Chain A
C-alpha cells in the first residue's frame, strides 16, 4: 500500500487523507480527491478490463467521461448496490470502495474469452447479422442470443431491489452554464455579477475543467489560484447555484436541460435520507455551453495495449493527481498539445523515450518545440508508430517515417497519443445547432443554432486558456436577459496548440501486417479494417456504418472514436469529411441511472392513490380494497372464515332482506349555480329539466357529440338557482371538463357557474327495506314516505358523535330497494358513517362493497359506463330510448337519426339466466349454435355477470342483436378461451321487482 507511482508532491489530492480500496481482490491505497483511475495508476495498475468482442487486455485510456476501456463493476459483492459499467475515470475514490474488472473470466489477467482474439478472422464486422441469419426463424435467434448474451455483456446488473432513492429537482435560471472549466467559470461569474440567475454545473467534483489550463496564468494569477478565487466569488452571489458532480446530459424543447447530480456516489456512507442521485430539470432562458473538448487517438497496430493513453489524460494524471502514469514514455502526436504532456511528464521524472510527430521537421520550429529539445527530448518528425508490442502492458513501439522505410523499436511502458481535440458539441447539436467542419482543427465545431445556446471556449474550438476566458466572459454577458443574445461572441483565432502550429490530420497509420488490429473504437472493438469492410460492402451513410460495425455505440457513444471513424469512411468513399457528416448526437451525453428518471414515483407512488374520508373505517373493519380509477374502494368486508365471494353474497342478500350501507364518495359531484342551469341541463342531458322542482332529483343520460352514451347520473335542485349533478366515478373529470368547455367557449351567454365538489362531500348510500327506520334515527327531518317520497332531496342534519352535522339527503336507489344517499362535508364523513352503522344495529345493517353493489345493480339491470355503455351503445340500445325528449335539442341528438344507430339488428340490452345449474362464463360471446363451423356468427356478448344470491342463479347482462325481440329464447354463451359453453335463457334486463314497487314503499 505504498502508491509507488505517486509523485512526491502536487495535484489537487489531499495527501493527509489516505483512503483504502480494493480492486480485483487486491488492497490498495489512494488519497481523497483521487478518482478510482488515478488511484489505480498511483498503484501501478493499468490493466483494468477486457474488451467487449475480442477480450483483449485494456487499460485506462482517458481521464474523463469519454473513457472507453476502464469500465468496472462497483461493489461486486453487494447484491443490491452493485453497479456495472462505472467509469473508473469518473468514480471518486472513497474509503472502502470495492471494484472489479468486467468482461473477463476467470480473471482479467487470464481470460478464457481471449480465444475470440485468435479467432477474430472469423468474426468480421456484421458478424452477428451474417452468421445468425440461418435458419431464418426467430426461434433460432432466441437460442443464439442466449449464448451471445452470456459471452458478451458489459458487467452485471443488480438483481435485488435498489435500496437507494432518487429525486427530481426543477430549476429555473437566466443562464445555465454547462461546464465549470475556465470558460464556464468566467461565463458564470460574468452573468451572476450582472445580476442574472445562474446555474453552473460540471460533471467532475472539482472546478477548473480539463487539461488545457494547466500551468496557465489568468489575470496575472496562477490558474489554480484564479479558479479558487472565481469559485469563491461565484458562491457569494445570491442567485447562483453551483452544481459539481452534475452532468448536463440532454437538451430538450423549450430550453429544458436535463442534468444528473451524483449526490452520494462519492461517499462511503451516504447520509440518511439523502438521495443517491438528483435529476435536475433546468429551464434556462439561455445556455452557455462550456463543455470543453475531448481528445482523440490515432489508429495504429495494437493501439489498445494497456499503458496506451490519451496524451492529455497522462498530463492530467501527472499534474492534477500527482501520479506518474509510466516510467518510460513515448509521445505520439500530430499537434502541439502533446508537447505539454511530454514536458510535464519529463518534469515528473518520467523518461521520455521519444516524441513522435507526424508533422515535418520544418514545422516544428516554434518555442514549444525548442523548449522540448532544450529539455533533452528527442523529437522524431515525419514519423509514426506503426505498431506496439506487449502483453498485458505495452513494452515497446515500432517507429518509422510516414514515407516508409525501416522501423526502429523503442522500449516504453507508456504511450501518450494525441490525434487532435474534438469540441464536446453534443448539447449544441441536440439544440438543433448546426456543426461546421473546421479544417485547421480537423474536427467539427459549433456553427449556428436557432436556440439560445452559446458555445464558448474549447467547446467552441478555442483552446487557448486566456482566449477561452475572454470567450467565457463574452458569452456570459451575451446570455444575460436583455443582452439581445448575440450570436456566439467569439472569436479568438482557432488554433490547436499552444504555439499555433497547425495540426496535421492523421487518422490511421498504414498497416504493415495484415493481422494486426488498429482500433478506432476501443469500447466496441471496431478496427480500421472493419470500416474498410463496411465501405466495400456498400455502406455509405455514417448512420448505417454505426449500426453495422457498432462504431460509436456503447456507454461511451464513440466520444474518442467517432470522428476517426467517419474520417476513415470519407477516405474510403473518397469524399470530403463534411460530406460524410456525423451521426446524430442523442441524449444522454453519458449514461444516466434508470432509477433517476422515476425519482420518487416508484412502488406505491407509481400513480397517486385517492382515499375516501371513511377509508380508515373500512380498513379497521376488514375491508378488502379494489382499485377504481385512482380510488381505493372496499370490495367486500369478509368475516373470519369467509371468502370475498361469500362476503359479497352475504352483503347483497342483506340489502334485499335488511339494510346495507355503501361508500359512494367517489361519485363525481358537480355543483351548478345561475339563472340558466335548467337550460344547460336541457342541452347536456337527453331528458327534460325545466320541470325539475325544488327539492327533487332526476336521473339523466348524457350523450357524446356522435349520439352514443357518454355518462349517466342524477341532478338535484337545491335552491331556485343551485343544482347538484352527480356523475359516474370514472367520468367525473371528463364531465367537469365538458361543462367548463361549454360554459367558457360555446355558451358564454348562459348564466351558469360550475365547480367540482367531489372532494367536498363524503357520501354513503343506505339501502334495504329497513333503510327508513335506520335513517329516521339519525336525521333531523321527517323521512316518512309522505314527507320524503321517492326522488326527494333535502338539506338537513345528521346526528353524529360530533354533534349535528350539515347534510344533504337524497331518496334515490341504485340497488332497487328503498334507499337514500346521505352527503356530509368530508371532514364529517367518518362520523356520519359510524352514526348510521350504529343506528342500524338493531335493523341488521351491514356495510357492503363494490362487489355486492354490482350484484344488486345487475339484478336490477342498471347499466354501467364501460361494460354496457361501452362507447358503441345508444340510449335506445340500453332500453332508455324513451328518455330522449322529442321536443328539445341536446348534445348528440342530431346524430341519433343516423341509419346505423336505428338499424333493427342493433345489439340491445337483455338479461341472461344460465340454465342447467351452470356458472356463467366470463366475457362470453353469444351464439345460436355452439357447434357451428368457425367462425361462429356472434349474436352479442355478455357485459356483466354474477352469481345472484337472491335468485340463487348465475345471471348476466348482455348486448344481443335485436335482443328485445328475443326474450324467451334459449341461446348459448361461449367462452372459447376457457373452453366453456353454457345454455342461457334470454329475458328482460331486470331480474327483481320489475315494477319498481320496492323503491316507493
Chain B
C-alpha cells in the first residue's frame, strides 16, 4: 500500500507497521512468580541471583532475561519472573516453597502468581496501533523500546505490556478479565484483518 493509499484509506500511518500480517493469540504462562524485596540490600539481591540466575532490573519499565526466564520490573521493590509454557523447562522455577523460605530469610518475598494472569501476543503490522486504541501509553520505539515493559490500562482493564520485538507485544491481564480484554482486542484489530486466533 502506498503512502497515499494509506492516507486515503483512513488507516493511520503506523511507522512501525511491519510487513507481516497482524497476529493475535493467547500465550500460555507456565510459571509466574512475584519477587519482592529491597534491591539495594545485598543479601536480598544476591539471594535472588543465587536462586534464579538473574539480577532483577532496577531501572523502571525494563526487563532482564536469563535463559528462558524473563524478569519484568513492576515497581522499585517488585518484579515478575515469567517462564512461558512450551519453552524448555527452567530448573530455576521449581521448588517454590524452598525458594520462598530462602527469600523470606533474606528479607524478601516470593509469591506464586502463575495462574493470576493471562497473556496475549499482538504482533505484526499495526500491533502498536491496536494497543494504542485502548491504552494511553506511548508505544513508539523511542518511548517503549524493545525489551521494555509498562503497566497501564487496556480498555477498562489493568494490563502489563512487554515488547519482545519491534513489532511484537505481550499483554498480560488478570485472568478474570480475559474475555473483556480479548473482546476489546478483537474489536480493535478486526479492521486490519490478519490472523486472529480463537478466544482462550
Given the known inter-chain contacts A169-B12, A601-B155, A719-B100, please indicate yes or no for A608 contacting B111, CB distance below 8 A.
no
Residues of B within 8 A of A197 (CB): 140
**Count of B interface residues, CB-CB < 8 Å:** 56
Q: A607: which of B10, B15, B111, B156 is its contact (CB, 8 Å)?
A: B156
The answer to whether B3 and A232 have CB atoms under 8 Å apart is yes
Answer yes or no: A10 CB below 8 A from chain B CBs. Answer: no
Residues of A within 8 A of B133 (CB): 167-170
Residues of B within 8 A of A600 (CB): 134, 155, 184, 187-188
Q: How far is the CA of A431 from the CA of B80 in the complex (A)?
A: 41
Answer yes or no: A236 CB below 8 A from chain B CBs. Answer: yes
Among the 9-residue stretches A350-358, A440-448, A754-762, the one with 4 or more Cβ atoms under 8 Å from chain B is: A754-762
Q: How far is the CA of A866 from the CA of B110 in the complex (A)?
A: 34
Q: Which of A171, A243, A612, A613 has the most CB of B within 10 A?
A: A171
Residues of B within 8 A of A692 (CB): none
Looking across the interface, which residue of chain B has its beta carbon closest to that of A274?
B191
The answer to whether B104 and A674 have CB atoms under 8 Å apart is yes
Given the known inter-chain contacts A197-B140, A235-B13, A755-B113, please indicate yes or no for A673 contacting B100, CB distance below 8 A.
yes
The answer to whether B176 and A611 have CB atoms under 8 Å apart is yes
The answer to whether A671 and B10 have CB atoms under 8 Å apart is no
Answer yes or no: B151 CB below 8 A from chain A CBs. Answer: no
Looking across the interface, which residue of chain A has its beta carbon closest to that of B190?
A273
Residues of A within 8 A of B104 (CB): 673-675, 719-722
Answer yes or no: A245 CB below 8 A from chain B CBs. Answer: yes
The answer to whether B116 and A826 have CB atoms under 8 Å apart is yes
Q: How far is the CA of A761 from the CA of B157 in the complex (A)?
A: 19
Least distance between B147 CB and chain A CB atoms (Å): 20
The answer to whether B13 and A240 have CB atoms under 8 Å apart is yes
Segment 217-255 of A: residues with Cβ below 8 Å from B: 232, 235-236, 238-245
Residues of B within 8 A of A722 (CB): 100, 104
Q: How far is the CA of A755 from the CA of B77 in the complex (A)?
A: 12
Answer yes or no: A439 CB below 8 A from chain B CBs. Answer: no
Answer yes or no: B58 CB below 8 A from chain A CBs. Answer: no
Type the 1/0 row for B1-36, where 1 means its CB is closer than 8 Å to any CB of A: 001101110101101000000000000000000101
Answer yes or no: B89 CB below 8 A from chain A CBs. Answer: no
The answer to whether B36 and A753 have CB atoms under 8 Å apart is yes
Q: How far is the CA of A961 from the CA of B16 in the complex (A)?
A: 68
The answer to whether A759 and B15 have CB atoms under 8 Å apart is no
Residues of B within 8 A of A613 (CB): 175
**Count of A interface residues, CB-CB < 8 Å:** 60
The answer to whether A751 and B100 have CB atoms under 8 Å apart is no
Given the known inter-chain contacts A600-B187, A719-B97, A753-B108, please indicate yes or no for A172 contacting B138, CB distance below 8 A.
yes
The answer to whether A172 and B143 have CB atoms under 8 Å apart is yes
The answer to whether B136 and A757 have CB atoms under 8 Å apart is no
The answer to whether B180 and A605 have CB atoms under 8 Å apart is yes
The answer to whether B113 and A757 have CB atoms under 8 Å apart is yes
Type the 1/0 row for B57-69, where 1 means its CB is closer than 8 Å to any CB of A: 0000000000000
Q: Which of A238, A600, A753 has the most CB of B within 10 A?
A: A753
Q: How far is the CA of A86 from the CA of B60 in the complex (A)?
A: 49
The answer to whether A608 and B155 have CB atoms under 8 Å apart is yes
The answer to whether B175 and A608 have CB atoms under 8 Å apart is no
The answer to whether B7 and A235 have CB atoms under 8 Å apart is yes
Least distance between A616 CB and chain B CB atoms (Å): 11
The answer to whether B179 and A601 have CB atoms under 8 Å apart is no
Answer yes or no: A275 CB below 8 A from chain B CBs. Answer: yes
Looking across the interface, which residue of chain A has its beta carbon closest to that of B132?
A170
Residues of A within 8 A of B113 (CB): 755, 757, 759-760
Answer yes or no: B37 CB below 8 A from chain A CBs. Answer: yes
Q: How far is the CA of A719 from the CA of B100 in the complex (A)?
A: 10
Answer yes or no: B174 CB below 8 A from chain A CBs. Answer: yes
Residues of A within 8 A of B138 (CB): 172, 283
The answer to whether B155 and A169 have CB atoms under 8 Å apart is no
Answer yes or no: A827 CB below 8 A from chain B CBs. Answer: yes
Answer yes or no: B101 CB below 8 A from chain A CBs. Answer: yes
Q: How far is the CA of A264 from the CA of B156 in the complex (A)?
A: 26
Q: How far is the CA of A761 from the CA of B129 in the complex (A)?
A: 34
The answer to whether B176 and A631 have CB atoms under 8 Å apart is yes
Answer yes or no: A432 CB below 8 A from chain B CBs. Answer: no
Answer yes or no: B107 CB below 8 A from chain A CBs. Answer: yes
Q: How far is the CA of A167 from the CA of B4 in the complex (A)?
A: 23
Looking across the interface, which residue of chain A has its beta carbon closest to that of B12?
A241
Residues of A within 8 A of B140 (CB): 172, 197, 239
Q: How far is the CA of A931 from the CA of B103 in the complex (A)?
A: 69
Q: B177: which of A278, A608, A826 is its contact (CB, 8 Å)?
A: A608
Answer yes or no: B117 CB below 8 A from chain A CBs. Answer: yes
Residues of B within 8 A of A263 (CB): 10
Answer yes or no: A261 CB below 8 A from chain B CBs. Answer: yes
Type the 1/0 row for A207-221, where 1 means its CB is closer than 8 Å to any CB of B: 000000000000000
The answer to whether A753 and B3 have CB atoms under 8 Å apart is no
Q: How far is the CA of A795 from the CA of B42 in the complex (A)?
A: 32
Q: How far is the CA of A775 from the CA of B138 in the complex (A)?
A: 51
Answer yes or no: B92 CB below 8 A from chain A CBs. Answer: no
Looking across the interface, which residue of chain B has its beta carbon closest to that of A241?
B13
Given the known inter-chain contacts A241-B12, A722-B100, A755-B34, please indicate yes or no for A673 contacting B155, CB distance below 8 A.
no
The answer to whether A755 and B156 have CB atoms under 8 Å apart is no
Least distance between B119 CB and chain A CB atoms (Å): 13
The answer to whether A273 and B156 have CB atoms under 8 Å apart is no
Looking across the interface, which residue of chain A has its beta carbon closest to that of B137?
A170
Residues of A within 8 A of B36 (CB): 673, 753, 755
The answer to whether A236 and B3 have CB atoms under 8 Å apart is yes
Segment 99-145 of B: residues with Cβ below 8 Å from A: 100-101, 103-104, 107-117, 129, 132-138, 140, 143
Type the 1/0 row for A262-288, where 1 means its CB is closer than 8 Å to any CB of B: 011000000111110010010100000
Q: Which of B97, B109, B184 has the most CB of A within 10 A?
A: B109
Type the 1/0 row for A400-440, where 1 means its CB is closer than 8 Å to any CB of B: 00000000000000000000000000000000000000000
Residues of A within 8 A of B112 (CB): 760, 825
The answer to whether A751 and B179 have CB atoms under 8 Å apart is no
| Additional A-B contact list (4), CB under 8 Å, known A283-B136, A753-B77 | A169-B12, A169-B132, A235-B6, A608-B156
Q: List 8 A-B contacts (CB under 8 A).
A: A235-B4, A235-B6, A240-B15, A275-B191, A281-B136, A721-B104, A722-B100, A826-B115
8 nearest CB pairs, A to B: A235-B3, A753-B109, A273-B190, A610-B176, A673-B109, A753-B36, A825-B115, A172-B138
